[in-house]
Amino acid sequence: NSEVLRNEFIIQLDGWYSKAERYDIICDAMKKVHINFTSWGVLERRNAANVHPSDFDVLQIDSDFAIEIKDLKHHRVKSITPQRKFIGGLKQFAGKSNWMSYLNQMKHFPHKSRMPLRAIGTQIQIAEEVQARQMWDAGFKGKGVKVAVFDTGLPAKHPHFKNVIERTDWTDEETGNDGLGHGTFVAGVIGGSSQACPGLAPESDLYIFRVFTINQVSYTSWFLDAFNYAILRKVNILNLSIGGPDFMDKPFVEKVWELTANHVIMVSAIGNDGPLYGKISIYTKLIYVIGVGGIDYSNNIARFSSRGMTTWELPSGYGRIKPDIVTYGLNVYASDLVGGCRALSGTSVASPVVAGAVALLLSSVKSSQRDLINPASVKQCLLASADRLPTANMFEQGIGKLNLIEAYKVLNSYQPQASFVPSYLDFTKCPYMWPYCSQPIYYTAMPVVANITILNGMGVTGMIKGRPVWHPYSSQNGKYIEVAFTYSETLWPWSGYLAVSITANKAAEQWEGVAQGHVEVTVVTPSDDNNRREQSSTLKLFIKVKVIATPPRAKRILWDQFHNLRYPPGYFPRDDLHMKTDPLDWNGDHIHTNFRGLYLHLRGAGYFVEVLGSPYTCFTAKHYSTLLVVDTEEEFYPDEIAKLHRDITEDGLGLIVFADWYNTSVMAKVKFYDENTRRWWLPETGGSNVPALNNLLKPYGVAFSDMVYEGQYSISSHEVHFASGTSLLQFPENSMILRKSLKDQGREILSGSSPVPTEGIPILGMYKIPTENGGRLAVYGDSNCIDSAHQTTDCYWLMDALLHFITQGIISPTLQSDGGLSMLKTKVRVTGGLPVRMEGNHLFKYSKVLESHLGDPVSKPQPSCPVITWESQDFINESSPSYMWKPQRLNLAKPDKALLRKINS
């Protein structure tokens, strides 16, 4: 029930200026684009930061000039970004059949880009579980530590809080009170003083920032003002129990950088979208934020806790570890609104547990050590002391479970240094190193990429000195593997990355064994204005991989990642149109995220699955039996189409395509007004980009239709749910197709009526290319049954059947039973034209393939294939240490024995 606000833009400046100075800068800028004074104004922001200098303003402008504002240039203006409004979530609708009601509602409710993460709700005191009482008994209760809670507020005279220093409201409701209870609960976990449900750091100084209204609405500008004020108040820790998929809100992300650079330790919930992979919440993706996942009291990963990997590195790279750490998030007991206690669950509960623990840790630091405390050093100590959970992988638990007492010991012996996260790569150890441990490497395979975070506790700015050096171990078969690097030469703030590509070389073509070595990196932090001298830290990243002889071609599958697009930044809709509360496709469509179940099945069946992050012109077809193209949204370069045709007709490559719905009328119907970008959002494609897929398949006489079908069908002993899929429009003669009775879902969406199922809809086709060395082709109209995101029942058995056909020419008896596959003597041509691209769509804005202009799609010049420069091998006669599997050992000073005796007692 939110008001649609149009024509507001955030103008970010190059520094902090007074209100009058900012106004003068904007006036000067507006003159240059010839927008008169009556057509714009600066939004008055009535909050605690109003009297202080700021680095941004919110511009309100007439709609006639909304386009011109994007061309505004000024030497003091850093960027201009649409103002964003956020609401707790889309309205949920009960009945699947009530499409007209749903579509009507979609016109008035924005999607959930940012929201307070909802906690779900025995009485277990969290302070006892994390051993906070040992810290209290030693005299450490968070005294003097400033903790900012960004949430829904706090009642003014709540009896559980003795050290609320300030309550500020950043919304338009002019109250600091909490009407939801979320903010009160979060603050209670951190600093509540109730005997029944005490917080972890009851003497910490709480700064309450109310950034969400009673309706869970917020704006980017509210957060920016509140963040600026947190910097002015010199808070030490900031807890964000908020979530959502949009990691491209540039002003917000840049402000988080600035906060971290100003020594603010950011703690954020990972999100409540588990058990799916690849659904990490917005700002937890950032390297320098401490991302927190949830576990139960038996040390199992909570089902609701989101799993990694991060997805913004796709398609050419690979995601990083997230969460960073896990702690209790199930049935945590803390303050309610009226002075009692209640139990809630969620990563929004786990996040303040870590924030409270950090407050305790900071209060324990000796005054002589205080200048060593920064976001990187605190994160290093938390991770170095975490307990590894034996049954969870790194994308579920991060480095491990919070261990407060061990973190205390590490922090109080800490010396400035850099470190890796993870601190080693052992591809032989499962489950922790999943998915790396799930498949050995071999010669001619696509390189495996591991994305390593570098934390720099020596200073906010650092650099990598020289280049990383690869040291294969001569006595541990290091000669069989090659390593290459991509890395950030400058580390800011407090962090950087090291992407390591690993492959087996020619010498390993028929070899099997374990190969080892390490990468050596030196991080340097320059001297600063506080007379700190230059510091350096040399790190070793131990690498251990399983190598096998190159598998036979029939067992090798290539997964097309290059042609998958996702939200953000564009509106790429869900593949199942019944998923009305989650309209955006933001899982990454990766074989290790929402297609993880399929990957595990294929590995269990003995296949080797590699990931292609570049165009089709960049792989060698003779290495693979099958190219797997699933739910693609991207266009195809003409050279890709031509090269793939040669691969299939001359080199025997097989092709399997799983498509999804596409219909321009349905796409227009599911539009919604997005207050992030101040425009109506039309899907850039359907569930998949069928016009592009038809271009790819045209040389074989194959095309999908623009019909949208759904329904249940049976084949042999298998029940299949066809969820918002498409049908075949054309298929060649001397092939086989499967027809089933399905409901016209597109008609249901457009008219509101529920049509009866139609018999004989062609949804699966199988075809042998009629050339001497021709491969085989199989296409199916729906990917939902192999996608774990909203899967009803899986159809991995169908993938098995298609692979048997592609690799061996065997037609599964399952597909032939119950009136299944039928032979086509003549080519099929269903009535109707080929699907067309939606007029005025903006796919070109997000495409790697298309030129950036409206109108008919035109391909960019195809880029050269990526060339990996493998590092020279500097052999040494060593082996990986026995403690390699443990979190990285930090270089620590001798501990204060008196303090250790105090805490251990």
pLDDT of residue 570: 67
What's the rounded Cα separation, in Å, for the pair 528 and 485? 29
Q: Are 630 and 560 in contact (CB under 8 A)?
A: yes
393 lies in the same domain as 447: no
Catalytic residue among 55, 57, 151, 426: 151
Asked if residue 812 lies in contact with residue 805, where contact means CB atoms within 8 angstroms, the answer is yes
pLDDT value for 588: 65
Please report, for the domain that includes residue 456, its CATH number: 2.60.40.10
The CA-based angle 228-230-233, given to 5 degrees, is 115
In this structure, the strands spanning 237-240 and 265-269 are: parallel
Task: Assess whether 696 and 605 both reside in one domain.
Answer: yes
Give the number of other CB atoms < 10 A from CB of residue 704.
Answer: 29
Residue range(s) defining the domain that contains residue 182: 115-415
Stretch among 230-234, 839-843, 868-872, 891-895 having the lowest mean pLDDT: 891-895
Are 82 and 677 contacting, i.e. CB atoms less than 8 angstroms apart?
yes
**Strand-pair category, 205-210 with 164-169:** parallel
Pairing of strands 290-295, 265-269: parallel
- Identify whether 894 is part of a domain: no
What confidence score (pLDDT) does residue 244 get? 54
Q: What is the DSSP string of 148-201?
A: EEEES---TT-TT-S-EEEEEE-SSS-----SSSHHHHHHHHHH---SSS--S-
Statement to judge: residues 411 and 428 lie in one domain: no
* pLDDT, tens digit (0-9, with 9 covering 90-100), for 800-811: 999 999 999 999
Helix (H) or strand (E) segment spanning residue 626 = strand 626-630
Whether residues 411 and 469 fall in one domain: no
- pLDDT tier for residue 314 given thresholds of 50, 70 and 90: confident
Please state the rounded mean pLDDT for residues 853-877.
89
Q: What is the pLDDT of residue 117?
A: 55
Instruction: For residues 211 and 180, give the distance between their C-alpha atoms in angstroms, rounded to a whole number.
Output: 13
Total domains, the chain: 4
Considering the domain boundaries, does residue 561 fall inside one? yes
- CA–CA distance from 852 to each of 270, 841, 847 (Å)? 35, 11, 8
Query: Two tokens at 902?
Result: 């105090």
- Judged against a pLDDT cut of 90, whether residue 165 lies above it is answered with yes
Percent of the chain with pLDDT over 70: 87
Q: Which tens digits make up the pLDDT trace of 178-191?
A: 999 999 999 999 99
Of residues 487 and 880, more confidence is placed in: 487
401 CB neighbour count, 10 Å cutoff: 21
404 and 441 in one domain? Answer: no
What distance lies between CA 393 and its chain's CA centroid?
17
> Taking the mean position of all CA atoms in its chain, how far away is CA 25?
37
**Which of the 8 DSSP states describes residue 5?**
-
For residue 889, tell me if it sits in a domain.
no
For 597, counting Cβ atoms within 10 Å of its Cβ (0-12 exposed, 13-18 middle, 19+ buried), the class is middle
Q: CB–CB of 190/204 below 8 Å?
A: yes
Tokens of 736: 């086989």
Angle subtended by helix axes 404-411 and 375-384, to nearest 10: 130
Q: What is the DSSP string of 865-899?
A: PP---PPP---BS----TTTTSSPPP-BPPP-HHH
Residues 179/168, Cβ–Cβ less than 8 Å: no
Does residue 53 sit in the same domain as residue 183? no
Among 212-216, 391-395, 772-776, 826-830, where is mean pLDDT lowest?
826-830
Give the mean model confidence (pLDDT) for residues 690-717: 95
Q: CA 569, CA 846: separation in Å to the nearest integer?
A: 7
Task: Give the separation between CA 544 and CA 539, rounded to whole angstroms.
Answer: 16
Q: Please give the structure tokens belonging to residue 765.
A: 């086709």
* Rounded distance between C-alpha atoms, residue 312 and residue 318, angstroms: 9
Same domain, 520 and 430: yes
Both tokens assigned to 618: 């960049």
The one catalytic residue among 74, 111, 182, 518: 182
Q: How far apart are alpha carbons 562 and 636 in whole angstroms?
A: 10
- Residue 95 predicted with pLDDT over 60: no
Reply yes or no on whether the pLDDT at 272 is more than 50: yes
Mean pLDDT, range 126-138, rounded to an integer: 95
Q: How far is CA 457 from CA 261, 280, 519, 684, 887, in A?
A: 12, 25, 20, 43, 16
* pLDDT per residue as tens digits for the range 195-227: 999 999 999 999 999 999 988 888 888 999 999
Question: What span, in angstroms and rounded, lies between the C-alpha atoms of 331 and 341?
Answer: 12
pTM of the model: 0.89
Q: Which of 105-109, 585-589, 654-658, 750-754 is modeled with the greatest confidence? A: 654-658
Q: Which residue has the higher pLDDT, 72 or 117?
A: 72
pLDDT at 312: 74
Looking at the fold, whether 523 and 586 belong to one and the same domain comes out as no
Q: Could you read off the pLDDT of 462-479 as tens digits, one per residue?
A: 999 999 999 999 999 999
| Residue 731 belongs to a domain | yes
pLDDT for 427 equals 96
**Cis omega (within 30 of 0) on the bond before 352?**
no
**What 8-state DSSP symbol labels residue 240?**
E
The domain boundary, picked from 821, 845, 869, lies at 845
Rg of the chain over CA atoms, in angstroms? Answer: 28
For residue 452, what are the β-bridge partners?
498
Same-domain status, 717 and 569? yes
- Integer Cα distance of 805 and 766 in angstroms: 8
What pLDDT score does 38 carry? 82
Among candidate residues 810, 845, 880, the one where a domain is terminated:
845
Q: Which of 497, 402, 420, 427 is nearest to 457 (CA)?
A: 420
Residue 92 lies in a domain: no
Q: What is the 3-state secondary structure (H, E, C) of 652-708?
A: CCEEEEECCCCCHHHHHHCCEEECCCCEEECCCCCCCCHHHHHHHHHHHCCEECCCC
Percent of the chain having pLDDT more than 90?
Answer: 68
Please tell me which residue, 414 or 246, carries the higher pLDDT value: 414
Among 547, 581, 596, the domain boundary falls at: 547
Given this model, what pLDDT does residue 585 score? 59
Instruction: Please provide the DSSP assignment of 329-360 as one string.
Output: -SSEEEE-TTS-EEEEBSHHHHHHHHHHHHHH
Residue 679, pLDDT > 80, answer no
Tokens 């020594």 correspond to 263
User: What average pLDDT does range 148-160 have in this prediction?
Assistant: 96
Active site (annotated) includes residue 182: yes
Q: Is the pLDDT of residue 780 over 60?
A: yes
Model pLDDT for residues 1-35, shown as the tens digit of each residue? 333 356 788 899 999 999 999 999 999 988 887 78
Report the distance separating Cα 182 and Cα 672, nearest Å: 28
**113-129 confidence digits (pLDDT tens):** 445 555 544 567 899 99
Residue 246, pLDDT > 60, answer no
Residue 64 in this model has a pLDDT that exceeds 50: yes
At 410 the pLDDT is 95
Note the pLDDT tens digit of each residue in 365-388.
998 888 999 999 999 999 999 999
State how far the alpha carbon of 79 is from the alpha carbons of 23, 679, 741, in Å. Answer: 16, 19, 54
Read off the tokens for 13. Answer: 């400046």
Q: Are residues 593 and 682 in the same domain?
A: yes
For residue 897, what are the CA distances in angstroms to 134, 183, 316, 515, 894? 16, 39, 50, 42, 9
Tell me the residue type at 340: G
Q: What is the pLDDT of residue 35?
A: 81
- At 502, is the secondary structure helix, strand, or coil? strand
Q: Are residues 69 and 137 both part of a single domain?
A: no
Binned at pLDDT 50, 70 and 90, residue 105 comes out as: very low
Q: Does residue 635 have a pLDDT over 50?
A: yes
What's the token pair of residue 590?
Answer: 């990766």
Please state, rounded to an integer, the average pLDDT across all residues of the chain: 88
Residue among 221, 348, 423, 812 flagged as catalytic:
348
How far apart are alpha carbons 366 and 505 in whole angstroms? 52
Residue with tokens 């005796």: 901
Could you tell me if 163 and 100 are in contact, meaning their C-beta atoms sit under 8 angstroms apart? no
Q: Evaluate whether 693 touches 21 at the Cβ level (below 8 Å).
A: no
| pLDDT interval class at 765 (50, 70, 90) | very high
Q: Is residue 673 part of a domain?
A: yes
Whichever domain contains 377, its CATH number is 3.40.50.200
Do 409 and 430 fall within a single domain? no
Sign, Cα dihedral of 845, 850, 852, 854:
negative
Is residue 188 within 8 Å of residue 340, measured between CB atoms?
Answer: no
Neighbours of 604 (CB within 10 A): 10
Per-residue confidence band for 817, with pLDDT thresholds at 50, 70 and 90:
confident
Q: How far apart are the first and last CA of the chain?
A: 55
CATH value at residue 736: 3.40.50
Q: Is residue 619 part of a domain?
A: yes
557-565 mean pLDDT: 95
Pick the more confident residue, 895 or 860: 860
Is 98 inside a domain boundary? Answer: no
Residue 108: pLDDT band (50, 70, 90) is: very low
